[in-house]
Amino acid sequence: MQSKKLHTVCEEARCPNMGECWAAGTATFLILGCICTRSCGFCAVKTGRPTEHDLDEPRRVAEAVESMGIRHVVITSVDRDDLRDGGSGIFAETVRQIRVRVPTCGVEVLIPDFKGDEEALNTVLDADPDVLNHNVETVPRLYRMARPQAKFSRSLELLARSKRCGFLTKTGLMVGLGEEIPEVIDVMRQLREIDCDVLTIGQYLQPTKQHLPIVRFVTPDDFRMLKEEGLGMGFKHVESGPFVRSSYHAERHVTQTASDTDKVTSTPYTPVQGLFLS
């Protein structure tokens, strides 16, 4: 990683699962530099004015994927609101370069919202990743505090557009920031209304004293309940637990879709029509 001047979100965001994932042949590369243009209150990635726009980065990422023997790679980035295309061109080229070098590797993209730019999203989708991942992160009520430059409706629409294009869609939620369980379940319902396939739910852990405080530690029973609720709603796969992060067990989300061990008997979930307003 260091020899190719690459970053991973595993390191930059201080993920507690880095050793487990790397040993399992999964890694999450952080492209477009390591300085983000946004200032989310929960995130350990540096905020500021980015200096990197490295057009050769996709080739080096593909080389690293090949040399590390990675079987499933997640490509994510800092937000690059300073770039006209939000960095979508680098995302797409990274997917293409990996396809050339390691055609058997699963490729998941964990993308920003591109400020709602449909052309930028289409640029990524045209590269044909295996999984389109975009995190809603928290409940709408907490967006102003946790994600001041983002909008819940915009994130929902990005996932909906990706699903309409036929992609396996995935998103993630943090708990422990002050949300109530009914709010989490309501977000899950809205995600199922747009037919989102995979959901991850994990405990928020405060990276430094300057970040948002932990309001509560969610109990194991609550994590189990949320998983059962999600599977009952029709998510194909739900990862729910204290150390779960968006890329945790990412390779399973493609191959394991509501296996017999994950099925939960419940009343079928009926999507609500007319979610989006123009």
Tell me which H or E stretch contains 276. Answer: none
Of 251, 256, 255, 239, the C-alpha closest to 25 is 251
Q: Is the pLDDT of residue 247 over 50?
A: yes
pLDDT, residue 130, reads 95
pTM: 0.85
Q: What is the pLDDT of residue 24?
A: 59
51: three-class secondary structure by DSSP: coil
Angle at 79 between CA 161 and CA 23, to 5 degrees: 90
E-strand spans in the chain? 7-8, 26-31, 35-36, 46-47, 72-77, 106-110, 131-133, 168-175, 198-203, 237-241
Tens-digit pLDDT profile for residues 145-171: 999 999 999 999 999 999 999 999 999
Mean pLDDT, residues 65-77 = 91
pLDDT at 20 (0 to 100): 60
- Beta strands 35-36 and 106-110: pairing type? unpaired
**Could you tell me the pLDDT band of residue 262, with boundaries at 50, 70 and 90?**
very low
Bridge-based pairing state of the strands 46-47 and 72-77: unpaired
Q: How far apart are CA 201 and CA 220, in angstroms?
A: 12
Question: Taking 80 as the threshold, does the pLDDT of residue 10 lie above it?
Answer: no
Q: What is the pLDDT of residue 34?
A: 85
Q: Cα–Cα distance between 121 and 113 in angstroms, integer? A: 8
Q: Which of 4-13, 71-80, 109-118 is the least confident region?
A: 4-13
If one compares 10 and 55, the residue with the highest pLDDT of the two is: 55
* pLDDT, tens digit, 9 for 90 and up, residues 231-242: 999 999 999 999
Q: Report pLDDT digits (tens) over 31-67.
A: 998 899 999 988 888 889 988 789 999 999 999 999 8
pLDDT band at 266; cut points 50, 70, 90: very low
Q: Where are the domains of the chain?
A: 7-255
Architecture of the domain whose range is 7-255: Alpha-Beta Barrel (3.20)
Enumerate residues 6+ apart whose C-beta is below 8 A from 167. Answer: 125, 129, 131, 132
Mean pLDDT for the chain overall: 86
- Proportion of the chain above pLDDT 70, given as a percent: 79
Residue 23 has pLDDT above 80, yes or no: no
